Every structure is written in C-alpha cells, then in structure tokens.
Amino acid sequence: MKILIRNGRVVDPASGRDEAADVAIAAGRIVAIGKVPADFAPDRTIEADGCVVAPGLVDLAARLKEPGPGALESELAAAAAGGVTSLVCPPDMDPPLDEPGLVDMLKFRARKLSRCRLFPLGALTQGLAGAEITEMMALTDAGCVGFSQAEATMRDNLTLLRAMQYASTRGYAVWLRPKDPSLSGGVAASGAVATRLGLSGVPVASETIAIHTIVELVRQTVARVHFCRLSSAAGVELVRRAKAEGLPVTADVSINSLHLTDVDIGYFNSDMRLTPPLRQGKDRDALRAGLADGTIDALVSDHTPVGHDDKMLPFGEATPGATGLELLLSLALKWGNESRLTLAQSLARVTSDPVRVLGEALGSLGQSAGRLVEGGVADVCVFDPQAEWQVTPEALHSRGKHTPFDAASTGTRMPGRVRHTLVAGTLAWSAATEANAA
C-alpha cells in the first residue's frame, strides 16, 4: 500500500532532521522524505498538520502477560496506541523463554498481529532458576536479542561469571537488573518515607553492590551488559564511571523512576508498588540528568500489566508493576520539556538510542529501525505535541489498568497524543478509527 504523510514536521533524532516535510511510503519502506515524486499516487493520505512525524518508538522493556487469553493481542494493541513500533520483552513469561520453540511461537503470533515488532530477551538460565545456562545460540537464532534473568537472581557470582563468559563468546548482550538478592526483599525504598510508613526498605546498597559486582565481572569477561532500570543517584554514578573506563555497558531507566519519588506513595497507594522501588528526590534528579547526558541510554516503559485484584491488597502484598506502553511517548516529552531539551533530544531516548543499545542483535533492521531514512523501514509515529491528556484506566488499551500516573492519583498532565502508528508501512493504529469505533 502506498501512503503519503502530508504537512507534518519530520523529526529524526539520528540524522538531526527537524523540518516540515512530506513522507512517502511504499511496500513497507520509506521512499521519500521531503521531495516526494510528483507521480507518487498514494492509496491513502494521512494529514499531519500540526503533528510531528517521528520514528516509531522502540521500547526496551515491556512485559507481555503470556499465557492468558488475549494478552498478546491487547498488549500489542496498547503498544500501537502508544506509538511503539518495536518492543523488547523480558523472558519472565509462563513458561519462561528458555526454549527456541517458545520464542518461535511468540514471534509468529506477534507477526500475525502486525501491530508492533516483538524482540524477546531469552532467559539467561533454564527456568530462570539462576543455575544452568540456556542454549543461547539456538535462542538467538530463534530471534532473541539478548539474555536476561528478569527479576530473578543468579545462584552465585560464579554462575553469573560463567553465563557472561558464554554469552560473550558470540557477543550476546546480558541484560541485568542490578539488585542484591538478600538486600532487595523490602517493599519500598529505604528512607524517611518507608520509615514513617513502617514499610520494609530496599537500601541503595542493593543496587550499588550489584553494579559493582557486575562491573567487576565485565572487566574480567568483556561481556556486553545492559543495566535494567537504574533507580539511584549512586547507581547512575557507577555506570558513568564504568562507561568512562570504556567498559561495554549500557543502561535504561523506567518512566516511573524518572518522574516519581517515594513521597508519591501517599496513603499506601498500591499503584506505587513498583520494582525497583521509587527513591528520593535527589535520585530522581540524578536519573534525569543521567538520561540527559547519555549516561543512561534509553527510557523504557517497564510495562507490567497487573490485574486489579492483585493491586487491591495492602501495599506490601500488592504485586509490583504498572502499565506503561501508552504513556512512554508523553512521559518522554514531559521529561524533555522539563529538562529544556529539544524534541529531537527527548525522542532520541525512545527511538535511535534504544536501537543503538540493541546493536547487532537487530540485524539489518538495525540500520533503519528507530529512525526515518529513505529506503529504510516505514515504522512511524505521528503525534500531536500540543495535545494534553490525563490517564483514565478505562481508556487504556492494555489489560493492565493500574498506573501511578492515573488522573485520580497523581493527576499528571500528559503532553503529546499519538494520532497514527505505522509498522512496516501498514497502519497499526489510528486515533481516527478509535473515535469512529467508540
């Protein structure tokens, strides 16, 4: 199908382009940006007046609650509604993604839905039990872009060392949540709020001890490591130093840690029950600065749909996690506005930079994913940067209706609204169709 996106402002962080231009798409690829041939006869025209035409978002952390009827369908629909065209999902499904057959099946089903590209992380160890490593080569052939323990821990440092050594044989990336197994049992971040509310705390040391350990092992193995969900100022500083040393590490931060602190727990609001836990103001400031200066490479949604019953429990018993796919763009823009960055700079952290983190794992797709380039894949997000909205659970496409940014909790005003999302040149989602269907 031939599509013409007309009168939009094209912003492509990778090339630095930020100008009014039309975009012509055919056979799943971008054929022209700007000088569209006069004989280009589109089957469909998208009017993008007042809108930004950006690369489709690349979300490095979105959990899909498989199995479960409709889970893949609803969550990929949520991704499309959020302007996300590629997402990386962690291996902690049921069963965990430790076998190539499971990965094949998942990718097959996602391809059929044509809503969003799915890049799974394979389990680093069998059953995520932290003991025996998985068949990383077979899993990579099946489509895994890296290996992770999700929230589970390794049996001991020796096992982690061996896993990293094996992964680095072929240059596979190991994605690790920096948390010390015995120090991370608390339900909130250690500090004045947890003390006052009588909630068991997770000290910053849980994150920093883990980062120190992992960095030591990177020095030894030269394995490529991606730090998932930094939460503290001290953690950011350790990653900064590791990068300065030239170690092959990258890092991300979640939309929750970027915008909220432990004070937002309020009167034990279980929507704030998250892992990693929300830390203090100075940690949030350091995370924001770290994302701005590139110490932290990517902003992720950390999308984790949690059922209503699992949140309607006392704080410590509630399941941690929040929905996020539909909030990623707005929260990236909000951070960018507040940090006085250009649109290209804030969009980079959810488009071209995540692609850079994935590196060779994306194969040839890596040359054009996360960017708008002639000849490249037509993964596009058209959004209205001036629109403002508030989150209401019923309006979310995800089955996970719980988010700390709920209008009823924090009442956050979300800047930017997705109007159209295209994946491989097909319209994966359109606000107009939504409105008609409603």
Partner 1 sequence: MLARRNPQLNAHGELIHLLSIEGLPRAVLTQILDTAGTFLSVNDRDVKKVPLLRGKSVFNLFFENSTRTRTTFEIAAKRLSADVINLDIAKSSASKGESLLDTIANLSAMHADMFVVRHSESGAPYLIARHCAPHVHVVNAGDGRHAHPTQGLLDMYTIRHYKKSFNELTVAVVGDIVHSRVARSDIHALTTLGVPEIRAVGPKTLVPGDLRDMGVRVCHDMREGVKDADVVIMLRLQNERMSGAMLPSAGEYFKSFGLTEDILALAKPDVIVMHPGPINRGVEIDSRVADGSHSVILPQVTFGIAVRMAVMSILAGNDA
Taking the C-alpha atoms of residue 131 and residue 236, their distance in angstroms, rounded to an integer, is 29
Which one, 170 or 413, has the nearer CB to partner 1? 413
Question: Is 92 assigned a catalytic role?
Answer: no
Packing angle of the helix pair 233-244, 281-293 (nearest 10 deg): 30
Taking the C-alpha atoms of residue 358 and residue 342, their distance in angstroms, rounded to an integer, is 24
What's the min distance (Å) between Cβ of 259 and partner 1? Answer: 11
CB 203 within 8 A of CB 194: no
Taking the C-alpha atoms of residue 394 and residue 398, their distance in angstroms, rounded to an integer, is 9
What's the min distance (Å) between Cβ of 79 and partner 1? Answer: 28
Those residues with Cβ within 8 angstroms of residue 397's Cβ, 6 or more apart along the chain or in another chain: 74, 77, 78, 81, 326
Which one, 190 or 231, has the nearer CB to partner 1? 190
What's the min distance (Å) between Cβ of 323 and partner 1? Answer: 19
Taking the C-alpha atoms of residue 185 and residue 193, their distance in angstroms, rounded to an integer, is 17
Q: How far is CA 340 from the centre of its chain?
A: 22
Which one, 177 or 273, has the nearer CB to partner 1? 273
Minimal CA–CA distance to 184: which of 239, 250, 241, 231?
Answer: 231
- The residues of the shown chain that bind partner 1, judged by CB under 8 A, are 190-192, 195-199, 263-264, 266-268, 270, 309, 312-317, 408-411
Which one, 195 or 342, has the nearer CB to partner 1? 195
Which one, 176 or 272, has the nearer CB to partner 1? 272
Taking the C-alpha atoms of residue 210 and residue 218, their distance in angstroms, rounded to an integer, is 12
Please tell me which residue in 12, 302, 353, 379 is annotated as part of the active site.
Answer: 302
Task: Give the active site residues.
Answer: 302
